[in-house]
Amino acid sequence: MKPRIFIDGQEGTTGIQIYDRLGNRDDIELMLIDEGKRKDTAERAKLLNAADIAFLCLPDAAAKEAVTLIKNDNTRVIDASTAHRTDPNWVYGFPELSKAHRDRIATAKRVANPGCHASGIIAATYPLIIMGIMPKDYPLTCFSLTGYSGGGKTMINAYEQAKTDEMQSPRIYGLDLAHKHIPEIVYITGLTRTPVFCPVVDDYYAGMATTISMHNYMLNGKPSAKTLRERLAEYYVSERFINVTDELGSGTLESNWGVGTNDMELTVSGNDDLSIITARFDNLGKGASGAAVQNMELMLNI
């Protein structure tokens, strides 16, 4: 019997993208809810309990409610919301971080899919901490440039149907420095200082470039940018979806790289004294639905 898959919240941006990735596959059975019943709790509960894997593409409160509707031990859940990313009872769905992460995902009942900004920052930071290069109390500074699709249907509609003059240029937001992905970044990396993080949204649909900035003398061993690149390349050498570029960054890095894929590219730039690491990927791919489908495949061993 083919694994049965249900997307709760299929009409949202992430849900649509997951459906697009799964709709033509013949190795799974995609269960669809009747359009008129997509907010019917009883019908949703029926499908959630019939699924082998359920994707939750819902606001945080609705995702938590959806979990309570599951009354069996068989349905496994991949939650694309922020609701469970720092919950110790849920497995964090970033398999490239370590073999242990990958193994836990493969056997998990509950998987929290990473956030888009967090994916890039964690991909650059976590290995440095694990390898003993970055102290856990490092005062990290990071920023992220993203396309407007990350804001969901409301922002997509604003940019495509009701664009104002100020929306034609990059816009810095999260100015309270309390973006919802920060707790996830701290929890997964083990940082003991809250990083300064500020995202920027620009007038293009998809793609993301997250950058962390470092003073090399504050890192253990005072590595150069070249050494950081070499160590990161070693860390991710066997990974299919994460690639560390061969050379230090020069020229420019476009932020709409890799759109339509599940790939992430890390570029180290800098010199002996200063370094930045930039992760580029599709905010709807490796930053959301692509990562969710990758986790599904690990969980189903397909």
What's the pLDDT at 90?
A: 98
Strand partners, 288: none
What architecture is the 116-283 domain classified under in CATH?
A: 2-Layer Sandwich (3.30)
Q: What is the pTM of this model?
A: 0.96
Per-residue pLDDT reduced to its tens digit, 74-96 = 999 999 999 999 999 999 999 99
Cβ 119 vs Cβ 287: under 8 Å: yes
Q: How much is the pLDDT for 60?
A: 96
**3 state DSSP class of 281:** strand
CA–CA separation, 221 and 233 (whole Å): 18
User: Which of 278, 142, 282, 267 is CA-nearest to residue 204?
Assistant: 282
Q: Are residues 242 and 266 in contact, defined by beta-carbon separation less than 8 angstroms?
A: yes
**Annotated catalytic residue: which of 57, 116, 142, 198?**
116
Contacts of 231 (CB under 8 A, 6+ apart): 127, 128, 131, 133, 223
Pick the CATH number of 4-114+288-300 from 3.30.2130.10, 1.10.3290.10, 3.40.50.720, 3.40.190.10: 3.40.50.720
Report pLDDT for 49.
Answer: 98
Residues 209, 121 contacting (CB under 8 angstroms): no
For the cut 90, the answer to whether the pLDDT of residue 10 exceeds it is no
Please name every residue paired with 146 in a beta bridge, in sequence order, or none if there are none.
201, 208
Using CA atoms, how far apart are residues 188 and 197, in angstroms rounded to an integer? 16
What average pLDDT does this structure show over 261-284?
Answer: 98
- Predicted confidence (pLDDT) at residue 37 exceeds the cutoff of 90: no
Domain residue spans of the chain: 4-114+288-300, 116-283
Please give the mean pLDDT across all residues of the chain. Answer: 96
142 is catalytic: no
Q: Is the pLDDT of residue 11 over 90?
A: no
Does residue 39 surpass a pLDDT of 90?
no
Note the pLDDT of residue 47: 97
